[in-house]
A and B are shown apart, each in its own frame.
Chain A
Amino acid sequence: METVPVESGLLLAGVLFMLGLISVLIRRNIIFMLISVEIMLNAAGLAFIVAGSRWAQADGQVMFIFILTMAAAEVSVGLALILQIYHQLKTLDGDMASKMKG
């Protein structure tokens, strides 16, 4: 095995996280926002794996599995919510779902 600089791995995670963040900020379509959140979660998981490799510990991978679990739960609930919003509002515009009062 060759050596991999730990900074490269962390930087990759950071860049991916940024891209997901930008996407969350610019999208109005809630499905896109959900996808962006998945990208960010994945990037966070990557950072854990890199750290786990650096210290030669299995803990990083365990954390990734937890994040994976959470992402799965989140996406299922999120999609159910999207369905409801679409049925109620007939649109996928996240900004339309800003009214809670009344």
Chain B
Amino acid sequence: MHLTFYVASAIAVLSTIMVITRYNLIHALLYLVVSFLAISIVFFVLGAPFVAALEIIVYAGAIVVLIIFVIMMLNLKAEAVEQEREWLTRKIFIGPALLSVVLLAELAYMILQSRTTDFNAPMLDAKAVGLSLYGPYVIGVELSGILLMAGIVGAYHLGRQKKKVVHRFLESTEE
């Protein structure tokens, strides 16, 4: 189990690195799916089988598919990849990477500073989660429902195909 955890972690990190370095959106999404699958294994190892299943269904399934749908609707061609290559230079990595490494170092320091505790990952099955979800967290469930509703309404409203409205300012710059 120990080993499974580390292998899955390595796969997750590697595939995420691949995600952020791809020029092609579809390739990046495929790596993203791999990353999600690896994380789902990590969840399983940590004793959360229900969430592991949700990770696959919602993240690797629904969300990624949604993004792929949008990419299809936008009908991106080869020049999009070229564009991406043009944007994603080595130089641009330096600043953000530096900042992130500093942040990671600080996080790691804080995590490692605390007392090391090995723990036996207990199995918390769907029943336990469900009891907790519909017990003390029922208000959160209600709020999530409202949030999803808002998401649906918002997406519908924003996604409607309207007549193209180019702003005066932008129009004048394009001409």
Are A and B in direct contact (Cβ within 8 Å)?
Answer: yes
What residues make up the interface of A, taking CB atoms closer than 8 Å to B?
1-12, 14-16, 18-23, 25-29, 31-32, 34-36, 38-39, 42, 46, 49-50, 52-54, 56-62, 64-66, 68-77, 79-84, 86-89, 92, 99, 101-102
The residues of A that contact B164 with a CB separation of less than 8 Å are: 87-88
Give A18 to B101 CA distance when docked, in angstroms.
8
The residues of B that contact A3 with a CB separation of less than 8 Å are: 2, 118-121
Give A9 to B48 CA distance when docked, in angstroms.
13
Nearest-neighbor residue (CB-CB) of B103 within chain A: A18
Q: Are B118 and A5 in contact (CB under 8 A)?
A: yes
Total residue contacts A-B, CB cutoff 8 A: 244
Q: Are B16 and A19 in contact (CB under 8 A)?
A: yes
The 8 closest A-B CB pairs, nearest first, are: A73-B151, A102-B169, A25-B96, A80-B158, A23-B20, A80-B159, A3-B118, A58-B132
Give A54 to B114 CA distance when docked, in angstroms.
14
How far apart are A28's CB and chain B's nearest CB, in angstroms?
Answer: 5
Give A42 to B15 CA distance when docked, in angstroms.
14
The residues of B that contact A65 with a CB separation of less than 8 Å are: 51, 54, 129, 133, 144
A19-B16, A61-B48, A102-B169 in contact; A26/B119 too (CB < 8 A)? no
Q: Are B159 and A83 in contact (CB under 8 A)?
A: yes
Q: Are B124 and A56 in contact (CB under 8 A)?
A: yes
Q: Are B63 and A38 in contact (CB under 8 A)?
A: yes
Q: Are B87 and A19 in contact (CB under 8 A)?
A: no
Contact of B93 among A11, A22, A72 (CB under 8 A): A22
Q: Are B48 and A15 in contact (CB under 8 A)?
A: no
The residues of B that contact A75 with a CB separation of less than 8 Å are: 63, 66-67
The residues of A that contact B158 with a CB separation of less than 8 Å are: 77, 80-81, 83-84
A4-B119, A26-B88 in contact; A72/B62 too (CB < 8 A)? yes
Interface string of B137-175 (1 = CB under 8 A from A): 100100010011011101111110100111111100000
Q: Are A34 and B74 in contact (CB under 8 A)?
A: no
Nearest-neighbor residue (CB-CB) of A82 within chain B: B70
Q: Are A14 and B104 in contact (CB under 8 A)?
A: yes
Nearest-neighbor residue (CB-CB) of A12 within chain B: B9
How far apart are A85's CB and chain B's nearest CB, in angstroms?
Answer: 10
Give A74 to B103 CA distance when docked, in angstroms.
25
How far apart are A65's CB and chain B's nearest CB, in angstroms?
Answer: 7
Give A60 to B60 CA distance when docked, in angstroms.
20
The residues of B that contact A22 with a CB separation of less than 8 Å are: 20, 93, 96-97, 100
Nearest-neighbor residue (CB-CB) of B173 within chain A: A99
